[in-house]
Amino acid sequence: MSGAAPPDSVAELVNAAKMATLGSLVAGVAHELNTPLGALNSNHDVLKRALERLQGILADEVVEPHELDEVRRIVSAVDGVMRVNDLAVERMVTLVASLRRFGRPDLADIDHVDVRESIDAALVIVKHELRGGIVVERDYDDVAPVECYAQEIGQVFMNLLVNAIRAIDAEGRITVRVKHADECVRIEVEDTGCGIAAEHLGRIFEPGFTTRGGRIGMGMGLPISRQVVDRHGGRISVTSEPGRGSTFTVDLPYTLQTGGNAQ
Amino acid sequence: MPDRTTPTILIVDDEEMVLMALRSFLELETAYRVVTSLSPVDALDTVRDERVDVIVADFMMPAMDGIEFLRQARDIRPHATRILLTGYADMRNAIRAINEAGLYHYLEKPWDNDRLKLVVRNGVERSSLVNELDSRITALESANVELLEIRSRLIKAFL
């Protein structure tokens, strides 16, 4: 854990990284909201039309037999609409809950976190970045909650997932594994992307090192992730094969290590 | 119950909720037969096997984007009217869609139901007119062949 930044500095870095991540993902998140919103918008209009038609039929007080077919058609449409609304609302609630989980300042404190929930929340936010061509497989063992700075660990998972997505050109696979390993929970993020050249492998956790052309915020995700993991008394490592992909492994102690830089 | 002459609208989107919302609206507001597909690959089989008058496709789908799907659909059933429904309304894709897929219309998500109904109804009319024009041309060509044969027989008979 040598070279780890002071805790306040880590928290500030994580906060800056979180804002940068959200900024880069905001268009995708907006699109993810647009789909259920579009369905709800259309359905609201369908319900108004259906109600108007039913009112028209019922205005005569006597429903003619031929009007019953129309009523059945309306009921069928309303039934479809209600099922879509359930799906759309559920999708929006999940997305908003994931955003809140990612951005809530009250989670900056030490908490007991189910890392699977934290990873799933990050996956909801980055879903759009998968562009339909990247398949995500989750292989989760039943693990106990981890004592940690929830926001910071959430940012580590987000960094690793965004990294994996950007390593894949168009189509590929990301496998996320969560398992028990001695006194730690082990999280592996494996991608089938471009991989990392051997000469770069030893430098990817250095602040500012990037092979992606020096865009703003680039080159800080992995150094911040290492600082956060160090702060928790854990370990982050990588194996990679150019052209075949990379696997990042994070070992997090179940109990926050006092020997680390925890406050 | 739709019969064989009822116009068919094929909707392709990898989002089930979009398909269901569009189906609910079109079935309530129109008499068209509505067929939906979550997969552009499966939808191409529908285009091949069934009469389809209007095709509405999402842009971003796994395996094949909406423009490529509509391009292939045009090869199979050139008279079907092709409409792109997308959350990615940008000029580059619009031009690509018009050039590569012979797009009839471009609708943005979230869509307006009245606008959608109008575009689909115009699309059905366009498809019907193109089909009618095609059958008239075929009839004219056949009549022309017949006339040429008669002319040839007349020439042989009198010369």
3-state secondary structure of B87: coil
- Do B17 and A39 lie within an 8 Å CB cutoff? yes
Q: Which residues of chain A make contact with B63, given a CB cutoff of 8 A?
A: 132
pLDDT value for A106: 56
Please choose, from the candidates A220, A148, A163, the residue with its C-alpha nearest in 3D space to the C-alpha of residue A195. Answer: A163
Q: Which residues of chain A make contact with B29, given a CB cutoff of 8 A?
A: 49
> Max CA-CA distance within chain A?
84
Distance CA A233, CA A259 (A): 7
Going by pLDDT thresholds of 50, 70 and 90, the confidence category of residue A216 is very low
pLDDT value for B51: 92
Mean pLDDT value of segment A86-115: 83
Percent of chain A whose pLDDT exceeds 90? 50
Q: Is the pLDDT of residue A116 over 90?
A: yes
Which residues on chain B place their C-beta less than 8 Å from a C-beta of chain A? 14-18, 20-25, 27-29, 60-63, 87-88, 109-111, 113
Taking only the tens place, the pLDDT of each residue in B43-81 is 999 999 999 999 999 988 887 889 999 999 999 999 999
Selected residue of B12, B16, B20, B116 to mutate for chain A interface (largest A Cβ count, 10 A): B20
Distance CA A153, CA A228 (A): 7
Question: Which residue in A has a C-alpha nearest to residue B63's C-alpha?
Answer: A133
Taking only the tens place, the pLDDT of each residue in A224-242 is 899 899 989 999 999 999 9
Which residues on chain A place their C-beta less than 8 Å from a C-beta of chain B? 31, 34-39, 41-43, 45-46, 49-50, 73-74, 76-78, 80-81, 83-84, 87-88, 91, 131-133
Q: Which residues of chain B make contact with A41, given a CB cutoff of 8 A?
A: 110
Mean pLDDT value of segment B76-92: 84
pLDDT value for A3: 46
pLDDT value for B2: 59
B31-B53-B136 Cα angle (round to 5)? 115
Q: Which of A67-81, A100-114, A124-138, A188-202 has the lowest mean pLDDT?
A: A100-114
- Do A35 and B17 lie within an 8 Å CB cutoff? yes
Q: Which residues of chain B make contact with A77, given a CB cutoff of 8 A?
A: 24-25, 27-28
Q: Is the pLDDT of residue A65 over 90?
A: no
Cα distances from B47 to residues B36, B43, B57, B106, in angstroms, run: 11, 6, 12, 20
Burial class (CB in 10 A: 0-12, 13-18, 19+), A77: buried
Q: Is the pLDDT of residue A180 over 60?
A: yes
Going by pLDDT thresholds of 50, 70 and 90, the confidence category of residue B88 is low
Question: Which residue in A has a C-alpha nearest to residue B116's C-alpha?
Answer: A42
Q: Is the pLDDT of residue A131 over 80?
A: no
Q: Is the link from the previous residue into A223 a cis peptide, with omega within 30 of 0?
A: no
Q: Which residues of chain B make contact with A38, given a CB cutoff of 8 A?
A: 18, 21, 87, 109-111
Mean pLDDT value of segment A21-30: 81
pLDDT value for B92: 74
pLDDT value for A11: 74
- Do A42 and B60 lie within an 8 Å CB cutoff? no
Q: Which residues of chain A make contact with B16, given a CB cutoff of 8 A?
A: 87
Structure tokens at A128: 């759009």
- Do B24 and A80 lie within an 8 Å CB cutoff? yes
On whether the pTM is more than 0.90, the answer is no
Got the DSSP string for A39-96?
A: HHHHHHHHHHHHHHHHHHHHTTSS--HHHHHHHHHHHHHHHHHHHHHHHHHHHHHHHH
